[in-house]
Structures are given as C-alpha cells and as structure tokens.
Amino acid sequence: MNLKELSHQIQKKCSFLCVGLDTAIDKIPDFLKKEEDAVLQFNKKIIDATHHHCVAYKINTAFYEAGGSKGWDILKKTFDYIPNTIFKIADAKRGDIGNTAKQYAKAFFQWLGADAVTLSPYMGEDSIKPFLEYPGKWAILLGLTSNPGSKDFQLLKIENEYLFEKVIKISSQWGTAENTMYVVGATKPEHLALIRKIIPEHFLLVPGVGEQGGDLEKVMSAGKNSHGGLLINISRGIIYAGSGADFAEKAGEKAQEYRIQMERFL
C-alpha cells in the first residue's frame, strides 16, 4: 500500500486509528480458551468488529513467536484475514546486518504479507536498505519511544541535539516519505512537534494514546500533516474492552469511539 492509498483510506474512513493485535492467551475471554486456535478466533472476531473504524492493524510478532511454530501459523493466518484495504504492520523491531536484513525483509514482506515492519536503525543504513527495495512496502524506524528507558540513549544530548534528532535526520535520507515511517510515542507531544519539523512529510506511527496516558488532541495538533501523516495505535484499550461473550462488540464500540474523536481533526 503506497502513501496515496493510505492517505485515501484515512480520508475515506475519517480515521487515523491503528488497532494493535497484541493478543495474549491469558487475557482473552475464558470461554474462548477452550477452542482450538483460541488466539486466532479472538483475532478474527476483533477484526470483524473493528475493521470499519480503523485504517491499520499492528501485530506485535513477539506475542506469536513465543508460541513456536503454532504461533507463527496463527500470525500468518491473522495477517491473511485482514482485508487488503487495511494497512498491515508487523511490529517486529528487527535490526541486523545487510545479509540478515534481506532475509527478514523477505520473511515479513513476501511470506507474511505485511505492508510494513518496525525496525531499529541503530546498526545503520545497510541494516535498513533491504526493506526499502520492495515497492509499496514500508520501513517503520524507531524514532522516539514512550518507555521509561528511552531516556538512557534517545534523550541524550550530543552537540545541543537529542540523539533521536540525529538518528531521524540521518535515517530520513536513506529512503523517502513514500517508504519510511517513524515510531514516536504519544506521551511526548512536545518532542513529536520537534520531530514533525524535521520530517514534515513522513508518516508517524504513534503508540501510547489511551492506556499509556497519551493525549489524542495534543498528538493530532503536533503530528498531523497535509496527507494525514499519523497512525494512532491503540491496543489494550480496544481489544480488551470487554471480557464476556460480547467482547468483540465492545471492541467495535471502543474503536468507533476513537474514530469519532479523530474525525474532527480531518
């Protein structure tokens, strides 16, 4: 999915919502746990209930990789179930040397069918370039994360600049706004505004609204650009909105609530 197509979906649905399918077996409704492929059944019901309200799904692969070969099978079937009109993100946070990166790119783009994969740019340009060789696919680089440990390195000052500023300025030259996005946590809207000045045309994947305390209005004000430019990821606040037989309906209602809140910013 290219930038024009993604922007069109945002305008069509009046939504910036990305639903995180970080599904943990211990958190799904008890009645589902008795079923074979319980996580897959949960994911399908959540997708059915939410796909009208979101423009993207982000799937943290760790929740599936932990299940071994069966987990990978569920991961693949989940990606296959998502409608092709919706942007599919493999949240894998990979980062390795060029030859290994080529294999990761092949795995996530060709085998899994993801539109994008999250990556760490720490090892430099050759660790990212293989992901930029696929037309219509995206590298989503870690820009400024919302976890407490981000202060250990990302917020270090070097020559009057934060390290994350230097990383974004340099890495934004490796690709273009057509194939590179950045992860920027919603809990730091003042830094998000700074990042938007550095990369005015790039899409930003923004986790942290809702359960982690990020403010939607501040994120939209600081991060939105002329073609939308934002994917607001919400995971637990939507997929675990209900724990009973109506869990999918509750998830759909919560997704709709967020979409309505986002609609006024278009």
CATH number of 18's domain: 3.20.20.70
Cα 46 from Cα 134, distance rounded (Å):
29
What is the secondary structure of 4-49 as a DSSP string?
Answer: HHHHHHHHHHT--EEEE----GGGS-GGGGGSTTHHHHHHHHHHHH
Which of 265, 246, 198, 256 lies closest to 19 in space, CA to CA?
Answer: 256
Which of 248, 213, 217, 243 lies closest to 230 in space, CA to CA?
Answer: 217
Asked whether 141 and 121 are in contact (CB, 8 A), the reply is yes
> Residue 211: what pLDDT?
65
> SS3 of 183, please?
strand
> Residue 34: what pLDDT?
85
Residues annotated catalytic, as ranges: 93
Output phi, psi for 50, to 5 deg.
-115, -15
Kindly report, residue by residue over 106-119, the tens digit of the pLDDT.
Answer: 999 999 999 999 99
Kindly report, residue by residue over 33-85, the tens digit of the pLDDT.
Answer: 988 899 999 999 999 999 999 999 999 999 999 999 999 999 999 999 999 99
Total domains in the fold of the chain = 1
Query: What is the domain range of residue 27?
Result: 3-263
> Residue 154: what pLDDT?
92
Which of 255, 184, 167 lies closest to 225 in space, CA to CA?
Answer: 184
Instruction: Kindly report the number of other CB atoms within 10 A of residue 193's CB atom.
Output: 14
pLDDT tens for the chain, 266 residues long, are 999 999 999 999 999 999 999 999 999 999 999 888 999 999 999 999 999 999 999 999 999 999 999 999 999 999 999 999 999 999 999 999 989 999 999 999 999 999 999 999 999 999 999 999 999 999 999 999 988 898 899 999 998 999 999 999 999 999 999 999 999 988 877 889 999 999 999 999 999 886 666 788 889 888 899 889 999 999 999 999 999 999 999 999 999 999 999 999 88
